[in-house]
Amino acid sequence: MTLATLSDVLQPAQKGGYAVPGLVCLGWEDMRAYVAAAEAERAPVILQAGPSCRAHTPLPVLGAMMRYLAESVDVPVVVHLDHGYTLEECRAALDAGFTSLMYDGSRKPLAQNIDETARVAALAHAAGISCEGEIGFVGYAGGDASAGTDPAEAAQFARESGVDAMAISVGNVHLQTDHEGGLDEPRIRAIEAATNVPLVIHGGSGVPYAQRAALAAGSRIVKFNIGTELRMAFGRALREAVNADPGRYDRVAILKETHDPVMEAARAVIRNLGASGRG
């Protein structure tokens, strides 16, 4: 069994000059492909259950599926709650076997965010697992705008919340479907100068590949969350499978054809972050 906590995989990444992908899961087909990709690349991987995933499948089911997959391979697999919004939700994920809890209080005033995140961090650490927090709101493509992370607030947040990893807002955007943006590297360096907590980028799909690779190798950003580009790979494969034979209705046969394209897309993400051979 290779079930791991977030700290188990991020601490070596920070020392080794690479980043670990936080792969956003929506169901069995993609999470299975992600674990197959990690095993093929001999890399650690973080399976993430975000709000849309949890709206579709209950936390206990997700925890069981992800833990089963972790037991099926011999590379580190983290079972991670992404964007938990309440202490109760984080506790439910802990009870469901998750090994990492991400509490998102980024929309709240700094003091409230610190206080609530610290409670989740204490809950996680008492159980021997990890906690990620977020300081500076990361917006959404076509939706709410981002509020960039203030380096001084990041230092206070890291110091007082007790998180094991800190998600920051430095030009990244959730649900971006192209790679034409770019992260604010001077702001990243200012945050790095203020704290030594491992850093996380949400909305990593919108970051240009070259910048992702460079920051993975040469910054304290050790986790990039990747969802949109993998969902796009799944969607393309599913459309091809459905359209190839309009008379076919067997969902298992159709969904099976998404496995290899999604696995290859996930392998490309792993290689781009320098995580291959690190598992």
- The torsion defined by the Cα of 66, 69, 75 and 79, in degrees rounded to 10, comes to 0
C-alpha dihedral sign at 121, 169, 216, 2: positive
Strand locations in the chain (E): 3-4, 20-25, 45-49, 77-84, 100-103, 130-135, 165-168, 199-201, 221-226
Could you say which of 82, 104, 150, 164 is catalytic?
82
In the annotation, is 104 catalytic? no
162: left (phi over 0), alpha (psi -120 to 50) or beta: left
Q: Are strands 20-25 and 45-49 parallel, antiparallel or unpaired?
A: parallel
Q: Hey, which residues does 130 pair with through a beta bridge?
A: 100
Q: Which residues are catalytic?
A: 82
